[in-house]
Amino acid sequence: MKKGKFLLILANIVVGIAIYFSLQKENQKEMSLDEVLISTLSNLKTLEIHPASSGKKIKIEKKSSDWIVTEPFIWASNKLALANFQTKFAHLSATRLYEINELRKKGEIIEDYGIRENSPTIKIAGINNQFEFKFGSFTRNENDIYSLVHLSHLNKKYIFKLDSEISTFYNTKAIDWTENSFIKTPLYAIDHLSITFENQEVKNTTSLTKQEEEWFFTEPFSGKADTERVLLLLNSLVSAKIINYDLNHADQNKSYNKWKAKLAITGFNQTEVFHFQETAQGKVVGHADETKTKFILEESFLTQLNDWSSKLRSRILFEFSMDEIQVFEILQENKKVQLTKTVESKWEVGESNGSEMTYQDADEDEILNFFRKMNSATVDQFLSIKMVEDPSNNGPTFSPIFTVNAISEDSRLNSYLFSRTTDEDQVWTVSDRDRALLCLINQDFNRLLKVNLLDFRAKEVLPPKFNFSEIQFLNIESNESKIINMDTAPETYGVFSDFNAETFISDQYLDDGVWISGDWIPWKYKLSFANNENNTTKTSDFRLSERKGATTWYGGNPKNKLVFNLPINQIDNLEQLTKEIE
Amino acid sequence: MDLKHKNTYKSHRTNNFGTKSLFLLLLTLISVFFAKNTLIKVPHFLSNHLTNFFWKSSELTIGYQDLRFAIDGTILFSKLKVSDINGTQLIVKKGRLNLNPFSFLSSKKYLLESLQFNNISFFSNFTETQLTISNLKSSIVKNNQWYYEIGADFLNQSLKAKGILSLPLAEKEQKRKPPSLSQILSKISRETRKVFHYFQQVMVKNLFTKVEIDNLMTLFARIDTKPKSIQAAKLNLLSSSCLVEISNDFKDSIGRISLGDVSCNLDNQLIKTPNLLAKIRLNDFSSYSILLSFKKIVCSGKVEGILEPFDLKIQKKNGRSNVMLFSSTKTFNSSLNYEKIAGKESIRGFLKLKPNAFQLACIKNGKKLKIFGGDSLYVNFNENYARSDESFLTLFSVNAGDFSVLESPKGNYFLEGELKNDLAVEIRNAYGMMGRSVVSGSYTQKWVPHRYEFKLKGHCYPPDLQNWLGLWWTNLCKNFSFPNEIPFGDFRISGTWGGTVGNSQTFGIINAKELLYRDFFSNQSTIVVNVDHNATRIESKNISHPLGKIESTLIFPRKHTGSLTFLNFSFDGSYPLNDARSIFGEEFSNAVKDINASSIFCSAFGQIPNPSSKKAPDIKFVAKLQSREPVKVKGIRVDNFTGQITMDTAVIEGAFPKLQIAKGFGRLNFEINSRGSEENSKIKFKLEQASKNLLFQELIHAREQGHFDIMGDQTEDFVSNERDPNDGTLSLSLQAEGPLSNPLQFEGSGMFHLKEPNIGQINLFGKISEGLSNLKIPLPTGAFSFNELIIPFNLNNETMSFDELKLGGPISKITSQGSFNLSSGTVDLIAKLSMVGNIPLPLIQNLVQFADPISRMAEIKVTGKIKKPKWELLLSGN
């Protein structure tokens, strides 16, 4: 019995083992070509391309997590190009024809398929597997190409018919696989750059640094740069395309043709340094410090490297601000117009023609408007690059037509001299004493700086602290009139409460009218503001013309002889009144 | 002894059970060995029970048609259906799973070894389309790596994907809760709904994409749009490749895209670029950067031409968003940086354009016009140190030299202004000099709603603007010219872009010096233009011309009001007819072509209907006219007139109660009725005591000018030799009615009364005295001297008939009846001559008649052409 039981147990074990192994064997079936190929492509480690004819071998390898072209030179690989290759390869249509051993039986040789020793080859290698494709001739309809494929996992070679699109890959050049820009630091991360230019005569360095998203020169002078021009330059540098590689590993210190330059880009606390010089053919050749590989750029790249001191300098000459300025003067010959900030932070405007200065309250909006016009002037061309201040330096000598003095709150004076370059109104030579700058500006300073007191005068036309309770609007010719007060027309009255001028035209008021730009403008209406306090009536009268335009209605003050244009809200108000009385 | 037997029995019984069990097990194992590949069908009730046991979910309902399994781990099913409570369904037509029955033996082995599904369909109530996966295959290729292959159709796109999925061992040990299938279905349904519309607009051909998730997954996909959807596509992408790299914690990702041959088709506008490169970086879901590099862009359609290459960079980091534009070409040099921090927006940078090299044109007013031309355009954005208030962060300026837009005359422009922190625009100083126009002003633009306001002042030469405005402007301008000074205008224009129809408002005043409108010359005028929601109003109280002044108002109801009226007008002043015939158009010009007047006082108002409206009423107007000086109507001088012409529902009525012709006073009333198929007119005319000589002189003059020709060549026969202005008077009255197209058809009556000492000499019926004397009637001298002619007449069918024509003289009298054919110019009358028949005393008159044998014996017959008729004497039977 025991023996029988033993035999049964043994039999069970044997059958069980047989079942296990048979099931295991079934499960360990052979992987399909697709599975192996996709697995290899997903875990790709190297790609080798042996192009047709005498082209140089291209080898791309994965080193840690980066892809590098290692042959025919060393350079970072273009990840997108590689991904494109992998994806197209993954979806390549492939038809297996014969194993190579079968060819003999069929009476064929490998050369019948156009496959030879020096045929173009692509090798892809993953962690465990490798594929080698040797390409022959195209099929009759040219949709496919014959290929001898060596499958390392099977250690067999097969003739395949592959999609002819694959031929585009073995016809590529090394440059098609490389990252075609040489700067790795992204634009937003760059916070320092410098260029050192050297030719037979001179060597100079220009450096810039970023502080709080604004760029400044640090060498050869300190000063503000034009941030957007610097960004444009950086974008051009970062986007500069390599057009070729110099495989002639000649000595880097070979004497240069006309010039050489060193570019340093710093970002993420790391500095990339590049050296450039001109080739005999006039192209620009460069190389990075850490590699020997030389790359070639278009000739136009040189324009990116030169004249930074001038190109990148801030084009804004004026930064007038009411917060910082204490006194602002405009001088033309004997005439002086002065804007002064009082102790109470109010502004006054003064004018003199060589004699005593008369002052009035100033309108801050007009001052701001004027400052903005000045601030919007941009430099067309710098004529002098000396920015280090030498107080004893009086600057260039020329006879200015206008002089602008700006005294800041800390009593620092800066003067600007304006002179006309040609007969043209628009092109002016401007000197900035403070920064020892001379530049050309295309701006009509003749119109801008020919100002007078009236241009800045405060817009109030009613006497100060004048309270009125009633307004009379009268047509002088027809004698038709209308009385406005808080009870009869509260809205209209409310608008009149803010009765100011829009702009002052002149102080040439006449009783019947006024001359404006050669035209006679007669007065048509009378507007009287009446104050009936303390049983006496005081009035403040104005004469008004008829409406001259959508934004033009002239008024005149008989007392101070000022002529002014009214603002839109008053014009609309008066238009309504006019309709009511006519 | 018993115990031994019992033990032996027990032992024997136990041995038998064990042996039998082992034998049964062996049989079972042998069965398994041979039947390991045999598929066994699972009954429905059991399979449902098993499903519910393994997959507990209250949200999902699972059902299938057929379930089979084999001992080697193979499971087959068909028509698997999974649906959720929202009606979303997932259907798998056929499926196969391969399990590893020995996976429990090793932690390194997965239970599932491979799967294959065919025809997976996804239906959702929210979208009309479905996702179809034609095949989904997956199998283990290495210890922790799965190969997968998918072929799917999704939203008109065909997707083929292959790849490797890595599942680290540690993952296997952690018992993760499987994702809710219901949630997955709902998410797919929602996302599909969002992108469905956009996917339909995109056509993709040969898009190769690699997606790599660090150490987790690699996917190689190819996407093509199904052929039937290609035509509807607005965005076409050909031959593109894409690489997406994602970190394994899914926080960081980088995408690189190369789009070859991109074209975008929008409403008659095609935009193409041969290559677009993009790089997208996403960090921790809080910051990202996108870099787009455009090669040249080719436009065709409404806008044609080429845009130079440029780069666009978008980034968001630490709460700061930036959009940067870079371009460095000969035509277009720009570095612009838009920034938004804490909700505040600003722009910095510059834009430099060489307009002449700019190759963009558009079709406007039927012509192809270059969008920009000229020397330079420079736009600058800087920090604003002199802000109107704290919200105006950006100062900007525009400087254009010799610049032209849409091939307008070249000019120089300068604008300076501020941008608010929401990019609202305030241009406070603008100046432009273009062609003959010089304008300055300001401009405001707000956003949401997009309110704008222009304030412009200056000299504007209208033709300078014609390329910017519609054809209506060109047609308007061609009638104007300005010999000397260009008009000065002061305008305010406001509205909301894209707002309700008719929301824009314009108010402006134009002061023009000399201007010529068609043939009308004005030496000065002030015109007010007012456009509001309802109408465009053009008004002037003083259009001055050499002969006086005009006040006029034109009101054009705006199109959106659907008004039946095209124009309401009023006119008051001195109208210089001869110098302004064509200002009211050809019809009016033809109507007044026979009137010669240097100026007429005119006060008119009326309305012209909208020609495009079928319900529009007819033209209506009232015009009061008064002469300032003599006028000529068809060559006839009218010294004085006052009257009114009205038109209402196709009836024109004229009433001139006072008019003076040849020193006679008269009145005229007429009515022209165009209501019927033919124009019908009525006329009532009276003229009294006009000087015969003066009147006939006027007729002669009119004849010389080609108007009336009733006197023939012998014009001197109608006018007395002495030319005595007091010599003879003529009165005429006429009442007639008939078609204007054929005056000879007029019917009516009238009276002609001529008093003149020597009527006989007038060439009426060929000189009467001559005619009579040729009859050789023995009559005393002076019998043929007549001084009064009275003809009451009727008009009917081209014939003027009269029963009692009386031609009277001191001695004799002729009475006549007959007719005159106006068409043929022939006369047919019988007249009786009475000697001394003209004595006014009735009794004496009768006696004379009795004594007069001639009138009883003979009648005079006059027939033939009126200018030279035949006179006959007919003797009676008595």
User: Other C-beta atoms within 10 Å of B793: how many?
Assistant: 20
Same domain membership, residue B225 and residue B154: no
Name the residue with higher pLDDT: B634 or A146.
A146
In contact, B592 and B614? CB cutoff 8 Å: no
Q: Is the pLDDT of residue B561 over 50?
A: yes
Q: Is the pLDDT of residue A396 over 50?
A: no
- Residue B196 — pLDDT band, cuts 50, 70, 90? low
Provide, rounded to the nearest whole percent, the portion of chain A with pLDDT above 90. 52
In contact, B290 and B315? CB cutoff 8 Å: yes
Same domain membership, residue B166 and residue B53: yes
The answer to whether residue B63 sits within a structural domain is: yes
Q: Is the pLDDT of residue B631 over 60?
A: yes
Closest-CA distance, A108 to chain B, in angstroms, reads 35
Q: Is the pLDDT of residue A132 over 90?
A: yes
The predicted model gives A446-459 an average pLDDT of 93
pLDDT for B846 = 60
Tell me the chain A residues in contact with residue B385 when contact means C-beta distances shorter than 8 Å.
319-321, 371, 375
Q: Letter for the amino acid at A248? A: N
In contact, A138 and A164? CB cutoff 8 Å: yes
Pairing of strands B303-307, B297-301: antiparallel
pLDDT for A30 = 66
Tell me the chain B residues in contact with residue A551 when contact means C-beta distances shorter than 8 Å.
455, 457, 490, 492
Provide, rounded to the nearest whole percent, the portion of chain A with pLDDT above 70. 93
| H/E segment holding residue B463 | none
pLDDT tens for each residue of B40-95: 887 777 766 666 666 666 667 777 778 888 888 888 888 888 877 777 778 889 99
Across chain A, which distance is largest between two alpha carbons, in Å?
A: 147
The predicted model gives B190-194 an average pLDDT of 68
Rounded Cα gap, residues B830 and B855, in angstroms: 12
Closest CA to B405 of B375, B376, B374: B374
Give A382-421 as a DSSP string: EEE---S--TT--------SEEEEEEETT--EEEEEEEES
Tell me the chain B residues in contact with residue A79 when contact means C-beta distances shorter than 8 Å.
243, 245, 256
Side-chain-side CA neighbours of A440 within 13 Å: the count stands at 11
Same domain membership, residue B208 and residue B138: no
pLDDT for A127 = 85
- Compute CA distances B96 → B61, B325, B868, whole Å: 20, 54, 125
A16 close contact with B: CB closer than 8 A: yes
pLDDT for B718 = 53
Q: Is the pLDDT of residue B828 over 80?
A: yes
The answer to whether residue B406 sits within a structural domain is: no
Q: Is the pLDDT of residue B762 over 60?
A: no
In contact, A519 and A549? CB cutoff 8 Å: no
Rounded Cα gap, residues B196 and B658, in angstroms: 82
User: Quick one: CA torsion of A526, A531, A535, A538, rounded to 10 degrees?
Assistant: -60
- Residue B13 — pLDDT band, cuts 50, 70, 90? low
Q: Which of B38-52, B472-486, B628-642 has the highest mean pLDDT?
A: B628-642
Q: Letter for the amino acid at B343? A: G
Best probe of the A interface among B109, B160, B243, B291, by most A CBs < 10 A, is B243
**Contacts with B356 (C-beta within 8 Å, 6 or more apart), sequence order:** B373, B374, B375
Closest-CA distance, A27 to chain B, in angstroms, reads 8
Q: Do B222 and A91 touch (CB under 8 A)?
A: yes
pLDDT for B757 = 72
pLDDT tens for each residue of B152-161: 887 778 889 9
Question: Which residue of chain B has the CA closest to A447?
Answer: B431
pLDDT tens for each residue of B503-544: 889 999 999 988 888 888 999 999 999 998 999 898 998 899
Nearest to B395 among A34, A80, A372 (CB): A372
Q: Do B22 and A12 touch (CB under 8 A)?
A: yes
B451 burial class (0-12, 13-18, 19+ CB within 10 angstroms)? middle
Place of tokens 């600003």: B346
Q: Which 237-256 residues of chain A touch chain B by CB within 8 A? A: 239
Closest-CA distance, B564 to chain A, in angstroms, reads 28
The answer to whether residue B341 sits within a structural domain is: no
User: Other C-beta atoms within 10 Å of A201: how many?
Assistant: 5
Instruction: Print the domain residue range for B800.
Output: 758-878
A192 close contact with B: CB closer than 8 A: no
Same domain membership, residue B237 and residue B212: yes
A352-386 burial code (b ≥16 CB/10 A, e <16): eeeeeeeeebbbbebbbbbbbbbbbbbbeebeeee
Q: Do A550 and B508 touch (CB under 8 A)?
A: yes
Tell me the chain A residues in contact with residue B418 when contact means C-beta distances shorter than 8 Å.
372
Locate A541 and state its tokens.
Answer: 């009268």
Q: Where are the beta strands (DSSP E) in B247-371?
A: 252-266, 269-283, 287-294, 297-301, 303-307, 310-317, 320-328, 332-341, 344-353, 359-364, 367-370
Q: Where are the alpha helices (DSSP H) in A197-265?
A: 227-239
Helix, strand, or coil here: B178? Answer: coil
Place of tokens 């109608």: B718
pLDDT for A386 = 45
pLDDT for B878 = 46
Tell me the chain A residues in contact with residue B413 when contact means C-beta distances shorter than 8 Å.
none
Locate A362 and state its tokens.
Answer: 């100033």
**Contacts with B406 (C-beta within 8 Å, 6 or more apart), sequence order:** B362, B364, B369, B370, B371, B467, B468
Q: Which 18-47 residues of chain A touch chain B by CB within 8 A? A: 18-20, 22-24, 26-27, 31, 34-36, 38-39, 41-43
**Contacts with B23 (C-beta within 8 Å, 6 or more apart), sequence order:** A8
pLDDT for B137 = 87
Closest-CA distance, A232 to chain B, in angstroms, reads 6
Closest-CA distance, B280 to chain A, in angstroms, reads 12
Closest-CA distance, B288 to chain A, in angstroms, reads 12
Nearest to A80 among B22, B29, B241 (CB): B241
Rounded Cα gap, residues B767 and B760, in angstroms: 6
Same domain membership, residue B164 and residue B140: yes
The domain total for chain B is: 3
Tell me the chain B residues in contact with residue A369 when contact means C-beta distances shorter than 8 Å.
386, 428-429
Question: Which residue of chain B has the CA closest to A40?
Answer: B164
Q: Which 372-401 residues of chain A touch chain B by CB within 8 A? A: 372-373, 375-376, 378
Q: Would the pTM of this model clear 0.90, i.e. be above it?
A: no
pLDDT tens for each residue of B207-254: 999 999 988 889 999 999 887 656 667 888 888 999 999 988 888 889
pLDDT for A486 = 85
pLDDT tens for each residue of A324-383: 999 999 999 889 999 999 988 899 999 998 888 889 999 999 999 999 999 999 998 888
Locate B101 and state its tokens.
Answer: 């029955």
Rounded Cα gap, residues B624 and B644, in angstroms: 4
pLDDT for B877 = 53
Q: Is the pLDDT of residue B149 over 50?
A: yes
Nearest to A376 among B145, B388, B416 (CB): B416
pLDDT for B758 = 65
- Residue B127 — pLDDT band, cuts 50, 70, 90? low
**Contacts with B821 (C-beta within 8 Å, 6 or more apart), sequence order:** B798, B799, B800, B827, B828
pLDDT tens for each residue of B431-478: 999 988 999 999 999 998 999 999 999 998 888 888 887 777 787 778
Q: Where are the beta strands (DSSP E) in B610-728?
A: 620-627, 631-633, 636-638, 640-648, 651-661, 664-673, 680-691
Q: Where are the beta strands (DSSP E) in A443-573?
A: 470-475, 481-485, 503-506, 513-516, 519-522, 525-531, 538-544, 554-556, 563-565
Tell me the chain A residues in contact with residue B334 when contact means C-beta distances shorter than 8 Å.
232
Rounded Cα gap, residues A140 and A114, in angstroms: 12
Nearest to B256 among A79, A315, A320 (CB): A79
Closest-CA distance, A253 to chain B, in angstroms, reads 32
A332 close contact with B: CB closer than 8 A: no
Question: Which residue of chain B has the CA closest to A319?
Answer: B385
Q: Which 92-131 residues of chain A touch chain B by CB within 8 A? A: 128
Q: Letter for the amino acid at B62? A: I
A181 close contact with B: CB closer than 8 A: no
Closest-CA distance, B29 to chain A, in angstroms, reads 6
Q: Which of B193, B222, B253 marks a domain boundary?
A: B193
Closest-CA distance, B252 to chain A, in angstroms, reads 16
The predicted model gives B659-688 an average pLDDT of 88
**Contacts with B719 (C-beta within 8 Å, 6 or more apart), sequence order:** B693, B696, B697, B700
- Compute CA distances B472 → B365, B466, B468, B640, B761, whole Å: 10, 9, 11, 41, 63
pLDDT for B9 = 60
A227 close contact with B: CB closer than 8 A: yes
pLDDT tens for each residue of B283-301: 877 888 999 999 889 999 9
Rounded Cα gap, residues A238 and A240, in angstroms: 6
pLDDT tens for each residue of B772-785: 667 676 666 566 67
Name the residue with higher pLDDT: B558 or B87.
B558
- Residue B833 — pLDDT band, cuts 50, 70, 90? confident
Nearest to B395 among A23, A239, A375 (CB): A375
CA A292 and chain centroid, separation: 33
Closest-CA distance, A469 to chain B, in angstroms, reads 32
Closest-CA distance, B258 to chain A, in angstroms, reads 8
The answer to whether residue B708 sits within a structural domain is: no
Same domain membership, residue B216 and residue B185: no
Rounded Cα gap, residues B270 and B299, in angstroms: 6
In contact, B757 and B781? CB cutoff 8 Å: no
The domain locations on chain A are 1-27, 33-177, 187-311, 325-456, 470-581
Rounded Cα gap, residues A468 and A246, in angstroms: 88
A84 close contact with B: CB closer than 8 A: yes
Q: Do B349 and A228 touch (CB under 8 A)?
A: yes
Rounded Cα gap, residues B400 and B392, in angstroms: 24
Q: Is the pLDDT of residue B679 over 60?
A: yes
Q: Which 148-167 residues of chain A touch chain B by CB within 8 A? A: none
Q: Do A20 and B397 touch (CB under 8 A)?
A: no
Q: Which of B311, B327, B357 marks a domain boundary?
A: B311
Best probe of the A interface among B12, B14, B22, B115, by most A CBs < 10 A, is B22
Rounded Cα gap, residues A124 and A50, in angstroms: 12
The answer to whether residue B496 sits within a structural domain is: no
Q: Is the pLDDT of residue A395 over 50?
A: no
Nearest to B243 among A34, A79, A186 (CB): A79
Tell me the chain B residues in contact with residue A547 when contact means C-beta distances shorter than 8 Å.
509
Closest-CA distance, A554 to chain B, in angstroms, reads 13
Rounded Cα gap, residues B280 and B291, in angstroms: 6
In contact, B361 and B303? CB cutoff 8 Å: yes
The answer to whether residue B454 sits within a structural domain is: no
**Phi-psi label, residue B515: left if phi above 0, alpha if psi -120 to 50, beta otherwise:** beta
Closest CA to B687 of B725, B724, B660, B654: B660
Tell me the chain A residues in contact with residue B29 when contact means C-beta distances shorter than 8 Å.
12, 15-16, 19
pLDDT for B665 = 93
Whether residue A558 has a cis bond before it, omega within 30° of 0: no
Helix, strand, or coil here: B371? Answer: coil
Closest CA to A471 of A526, A552, A523: A526
**For the structural domain made of A470-581, what CATH number should be given?**
2.60.40
Q: Which of B193, B222, B237 marks a domain boundary?
A: B193
